[in-house]
Structure 1
Amino acid sequence: MMKKWKWSNIYLILVFVILYAPIFYLMYYSFNSGGSMREFEGFTLQWYKEVFQDTRLLIIVLNTLIIALLSSVISTILGIIGALAIIYVKRRRVQNTLLTLNNVLIVSPDVIIGASFLILFTIVGIKLGFTSVLLAHIAFSVPIVVIMILPKLQEMSPTLIDAARDLGASRFQVLSKVILPFISPGIFAGFFLALTYSLDDFAVTFFVTGNGFSTLSVEIYSLARRGVSLTINALSTLIFLFTVLLVVGYYFVSQRNLRTKGGGVEK
């Protein structure tokens, strides 16, 4: 058991080193006073200053955050409706069909989804830019939210709803006072997952973005194609730290929900 435990831990450490070593390497050289990633010449915040002094880049950051927040909120609302629709469908065949259609968007390659949206927006006449990117992000985020909410709905006992109805609760009260509070961990998980997916999506966004509008992932790609610049390192470091903050925030929210429920059970 001791040998197995040691080897499993070594394997886990190796996996994390492989995953995080390139990120920390990138972060390390974002403080390099030299203009390359070959040799660390000295500590500097020059590249971070350049990021914050670039007005165009700050506008792109704002665009990315607005798209991510809007798409996450809208996709969470649609995801709740979709999950409720799937779970309360009476026919099993119809329910399985809806689940399959929902899962297809998750497993489909991003290139195919992006190209499909590009063709659709071109046919419909939607101008490529803010609206097209927002619609595309909502579309690929909704299935993620549905998947996160469905397990919580399946865990919920039907007797809770029956008890609320017996006490005279209306349909809206059952939804707002019973169902939504119970599935709130799934809602938060779906929202944060949709937010992170939207923030770092490149493939779909690359297809549906237009002239005069860009997001951080597309901008970093275009900067990288021009040549190695430590501004990219600084920008990538800031994005990584922001993502870490989101994950930590979600962790504390989920822990708070667990403590609240635990306290309620104890009472």
Structure 2
Amino acid sequence: MKRKVKWDNLYLIIMFVILYTPIFYLIYYSFNSGGTMHHFQGFTLEWYKEVFQDTRLLIIVLNTFVIALLASAISTILGVMGALAIYYVKKRRMKNLLLTLNNVLIVSPDVIIGASFLILFTIIGIQLGFTSVLLSHIAFSVPIVVLMVLPKLQEMSPTLIDAARDLGANQWNVLTKVILPFITPGIFAGFFMALTYSLDDFAVTFFVTGNGFSTLSVEIYSRARQGISLSINALSTLLFLFTVLLVVGYYFISQRSSRLYGMGGRK
């Protein structure tokens, strides 16, 4: 048994090394004054200054975060409504059908989703740009939120709802004072997952973005095709640090929500 645990730990270490080595390599050379990713000549913050002095890039960063925040907020609302709808479906066959349709959107290749949205927006006359990117990000984020929220609903004991109704609570009170507080960790998980998916999505965004509008993933791709520039390393480093902050923030928020609900349940 001990030998098995050691092999498991070794496997995890190897996987983390494979995953994180390219990222730390990129971060390391973002401080290289030599301008290449081959020989580290000296420490500099020149590439970070270049990022913050690039007005066009700052506008793209703003566009990316506005899209991500709006898409994650709207998809969280729609995802919670969708999870509640699936949860309250009585027929098992219909519930499985809805879950299957939800999961198909997650496992479908991004290229197919992006091309489908491009065709749809072209047919109905939506101009490619902010609106098309926002709608597509909402669409692929909603199923993620549903998958985050639905397990919390299934963990909830029906006796909680029955007790609230016995005490005179109406349907709105049951939803706002019993169900939503219980599934709050799942809602936060869905929001942060949707936020990170929106921030780093490239394939779908590449299809639905138009002239004059871009996001960070598309911009980094277009700049990388023009040649190696350590400003890309600096920008990628900042994005990685922001993602780490999101993960840490989500962890503390979820822990706090669990403790608060646990205290409320004991009372």
Give the TM-score of the pair, scaled to structure 2. 0.98
Inter-partner Cα distance in structure 1 for 2:192 and 2:207 = 24
Moved more, 4-13 or 141-150: 4-13
The structural deviation recorded for 1:263 is 2.7
Q: Which residue of 1 aligns with 2:101?
A: 101
Q: Which residue of 2 aligns with 1:50?
A: 50
Moved more, 251-260 or 179-188: 251-260
Inter-partner Cα distance in structure 2 for 1:163 and 1:2 = 47
Q: Is the 8 A contact 2:182 2:261 kept in 1?
A: no
Inter-partner Cα distance in structure 1 for 2:162 and 2:257 = 24
Q: Which residue of 2 aligns with 1:250?
A: 250
Identity among equivalent pairs (%):
81
Q: Which residue of 1 aligns with 2:22?
A: 22
Inter-partner Cα distance in structure 2 for 1:5 and 1:112 = 41
Asked if 1:227 is matched to 2:227, the reply is: yes
Paired AA for residue 149 in structure 1: V
Q: Is the 8 A contact 2:181 2:261 kept in 1?
A: no
Q: Which residue of 2 aligns with 1:178?
A: 178
Q: Is the 8 A contact 2:113 2:204 kept in 1?
A: yes
Kindly provide the CA deviation profile for residues 120-175 of structure 1, in whole angstroms up to 9, marking residues without a partner as x. Answer: 00000000000000000000000000000000111111111111112111211111
Alignment of 1:191-202 (within 5 A): 191-202=191-202
Give unpaired runs (5+ residues) of structure 1.
Answer: none
Inter-partner Cα distance in structure 1 for 2:17 and 2:195 = 26
Q: Which residue of 2 aligns with 1:143?
A: 143
Inter-partner Cα distance in structure 2 for 1:106 and 1:7 = 32
The structural deviation recorded for 1:48 is 0.1
Inter-partner Cα distance in structure 1 for 2:77 and 2:50 = 38
Inter-partner Cα distance in structure 1 for 2:167 and 2:181 = 18
Inter-partner Cα distance in structure 1 for 2:144 and 2:129 = 23
The structural deviation recorded for 1:86 is 0.6
Paired AA for residue 191 in structure 1: F
Paired AA for residue 16 in structure 1: F
Q: Which residue of 1 aligns with 2:121?
A: 121
The structural deviation recorded for 1:178 is 0.6
Alignment of 1:58-137 (within 5 A): 58-137=58-137
Q: Secondary structure at the match of 1:169?
A: coil
Kindly provide the CA deviation profile for residues 19-41 of structure 1, in whole angstroms up to 9, marking residues without a partner as x. Answer: 00000000000000011101000
Q: Which residue of 1 aligns with 2:161?
A: 161
Q: Secondary structure at the match of 1:39?
A: coil
Moved more, 196-205 or 149-158: 149-158
Alignment root-mean-square deviation, CA:
0.9
Inter-partner Cα distance in structure 1 for 2:91 and 2:9 = 46
Give unpaired runs (5+ residues) of structure 2.
Answer: none
Q: Secondary structure at the match of 1:37?
A: coil
Kindly provide the CA deviation profile for residues 69-106 of structure 1, in whole angstroms up to 9, marking residues without a partner as x. Answer: 00000000000110011110122221111111100000
The structural deviation recorded for 1:254 is 1.0
Kindly provide the CA deviation profile for residues 213-266 of structure 1, in whole angstroms up to 9, marking residues without a partner as x. Answer: 000000000000000000000000000000000000000011112222333344
Paired AA for residue 3 in structure 1: R
Q: Secondary structure at the match of 1:47?
A: helix
Inter-partner Cα distance in structure 2 for 1:142 and 1:3 = 43
Inter-partner Cα distance in structure 2 for 1:265 and 1:76 = 25
Q: Which residue of 2 aligns with 1:35?
A: 35
The structural deviation recorded for 1:10 is 1.5
Q: Which residue of 2 aligns with 1:212?
A: 212
The structural deviation recorded for 1:107 is 0.3
Paired AA for residue 213 in structure 1: F
Residues matched between the structures, number:
267
Paired AA for residue 158 in structure 2: P
Paired AA for residue 184 in structure 2: S
Inter-partner Cα distance in structure 1 for 2:166 and 2:96 = 31
